[in-house]
Structures are given as C-alpha cells and as structure tokens.
Amino acid sequence: MLKEIPTSFTKMMNCKLPIIGAPMFLVSNVEMVTEVSEAGGVGTFPALNYRPIEEYKKALKEMKDRTKKPIGVNIIVNKSNTRQNDDLKYALDAGVDLFITSLGSPKEVIKLAHKNGAKVICDVTNLEHAKKVQDLGGDGVIAVCSGAGGHAGPISPIVLVPWLTKSLNIPVIAAGGVSDGPTMAAMIVLGGAGVSVGTRFIACKEAKVDQSYKDAILKATPEDIVMTTRLSGVPASVIKTPYIEKVGTELPWIIDKLQKNPRTKRIMQGLIHLMGEKQLEHAALKPTWKTVWSAGQGVGLIDEILSCKEIMELLVEGYHKAIRDIPH
C-alpha cells in the first residue's frame, strides 16, 4: 500500500495520490488507465485512441468493469474533432469521473460534466487561458510547461506552476519533465496540487507501442527532444530522429501561409492535425522509417521499462524520500 499524499487534487478526485497518468495519443490504453487508478492516481486516455466510436464505448465499459477508482478521458474540443459530442456523451453515460480538455473552449464539457458530478480540468500554457478556465467554472488546470511531451508550452515549470497557483483559486497540476520522485516533489513544493506524468509511462510494460518507441525513450537525452509544428501546426515535442532531421521542424511555407489566412485557417488546421495523427500512428504502432515519436525532456530520467504499478511506486517512494532529504 503506497503512502498517501493528500492535496486539493486528491480531495477533489477522492483518490490517494496526486498523480495523473497523462492521456497520450496512441499510447494510453485500458490496462494503463486502470493500473494507474488502482495504484491510487487517476489514469486517463484520449478518447480518439479508440476508433471507431464502438471501440471507444467498449473501452470505457472495460475500464469501469476493471476498476471502481476514478478514471479520466481527454477530449479535443477543437472544431476539427467532429466526434467530440459523442466522446463526451458516452463518457458521461459510462460514469467517467474526470475530463481533461485540450485545444479549445471547455464551456460545454464543464456544463454537462458538472450535471453528472464529474470534474473538468483543462490544459493551459499561460495565465490568460487559465483564468478563462476558472471563470468558466473549471475545476482545475494542467500547467503544460516547457519540457512536456506533445503540445508543450514555452514557460519553465519553475515559473509557470507558482505563477498560476498564486493567481488562481483552483488546483494547478504540473506537466512537463516529471519522471521520478524528486521531480514530482519539486512540482508539489512549487505549489502544484498534483502532477501529470506522460513520457515515463511510454516505457511501461502495459504500453502496446512498438518496441522501437520504448527503446527510443530509454536511449534519448533531453537534448534529443525538439519542437516541431509539422504534426499539428502548433509546437509539439518529439524525439529527434533522422526522419525529423530530414523533413525539418517547420511547416512548409505555403501550408503555414494558408494556416494563417482567415479564409483557409480552419480547414488547414484540421488537415494538418489529421496528417500529424497519421504520422504518429505509423511510428508508434509499427516499424517505419518515418519515425515521429512524441516525448518530453523527462526521457533523460528514464532508463528501464517497468510496469505501471512499479512506476507509481517509484514516483511515490522517490517523492517521500526527496521531501525527507530537504535540509531543514
């Protein structure tokens, strides 16, 4: 039994540990979600990991059958996600406890989730968006800092977490570079109510990604993580591979121009996002020379593949040791 770490987040979610197993595109699955939740955190996954929609409904049922602990779903609330209303409806029907929204306004999700007794936290990269979430009635924010995998923000966690905490009345969850106990302790000391851990869970036994992806996580250093706009039009962190070096990290000028044009912006953003998803899917699930692997700078602290339960133990035990070792 892992020693509890009580925070405003654990109180809100009725869980023992302030750890979110981050929703990772094409990585998070039923086993990962339920194992993290069973260990005392909150396991989450992107709704779009399961396609078609029937597979999503099946996954939700399986998760709820396997654990009575809280679980969460990440919903892309951008207009390019034509499935978002169904993603929300079926998650509410299944009794999902937590919703994480990305890339758009969480207004509708907050309204419907609260009717169901569920909580909503939203990805933010700055104070302006965090205040909007609070004003809309959001239950918390995830401070997506520099060093995070996927769509990372530009601000250091050392600044962003306390900046948001000082200015908001809702819990702030830290995301970016948290891969072990000491980094988790640092985020809590900075005022975070919890941490969202992604990259560390890519190198877990339950992840069904191609072995080459897991090996890349183990071999990579923080210097191997680069930001690219080619996946979705907004900066995303990936491991630098020969393929990434070949194609570059910027959108071709004509696509970038069309994306910024008010008349073509919406259709181009949807198209870029779709192309990026396809690239990630090929690289994550089968061997390919087009290696596009999403990861954060926390790769530098990962050197072995463990089970989700072992990773949770590593985080919690390392956290308590780090707190004990702080000079008084």
Q: What is the pTM of this model?
A: 0.88
**14 in any annotated domain:** yes
Full domain range(s) for residue 288: 211-297
Provide the domain count of the chain. Answer: 2
Residue 16 lies in a domain: yes
Q: Please give the pLDDT value at position 126.
A: 94
Residue 188 lies in a domain: yes
Pair (171, 61) in one structural domain? yes
Mark whether 50 and 133 lie in a shared domain: yes
Distance between CA atoms of residues 150 and 299, nearest Å: 13
**Per-residue pLDDT, 283:** 43
The pLDDT of residue 261 is: 57
Establish if 82 belongs to a structural domain.
Answer: yes
**Which conformational region is residue 76 in: left (phi greater than 0), alpha (psi within -120 to 50 degrees), or beta?**
beta
Parts of the chain with a pLDDT under 50: 249, 251-256, 258-259, 267-268, 271-272, 276, 280-289
The per-residue pLDDT for 247 is 58
Residues 181 and 255 in one domain: no
Output the pLDDT for position 95: 96
Regarding whether 274 and 126 lie in a shared domain, the answer is no
pLDDT given at position 287: 46
Q: Is residue 181 located within the same domain as residue 94?
A: yes
1 within some domain:
no
In a domain, 261, yes or no: yes
| Same domain membership, residue 249 and residue 136 | no
For residue 291, which of 235, 233, 241 has the smallest C-alpha distance? 241
Q: How far apart are CA 97 and CA 82, in angstroms?
A: 23
Q: Tell whether 176 and 252 lie within a shared domain.
A: no
Query: How big is the CA angle at 159 (ends 153 and 161), to the nearest 5 degrees?
Result: 75
Gap between the Cα atoms of 265 and 252, Å rounded = 15
The CATH number linked to 89 is 3.20.20.70
Q: Write down the pLDDT at residue 91.
A: 96
Shared domain for 128 and 44, answered yes or no, is yes
Residues 252 and 269 in one domain: yes
Tell me what pLDDT residue 248 has.
53
Q: Are residues 225 and 188 in the same domain?
A: no
Strand blocks (E) in the chain: 19-21, 42-46, 71-76, 98-102, 119-124, 140-144, 172-175, 194-197, 225-228, 236-239
Which pLDDT score is estimated for 238?
87
Same domain? For 38 and 164 the reply is yes
In a domain? residue 42 = yes
pLDDT value for 285: 45
Pair of tokens at residue 118: 């569920």
Q: Is residue 256 part of a domain?
A: yes
* 90 and 163 together in one domain: yes
pLDDT digits 0-9 by tens, 239-284? 888 777 765 545 443 444 544 556 555 544 554 455 545 554 444 4
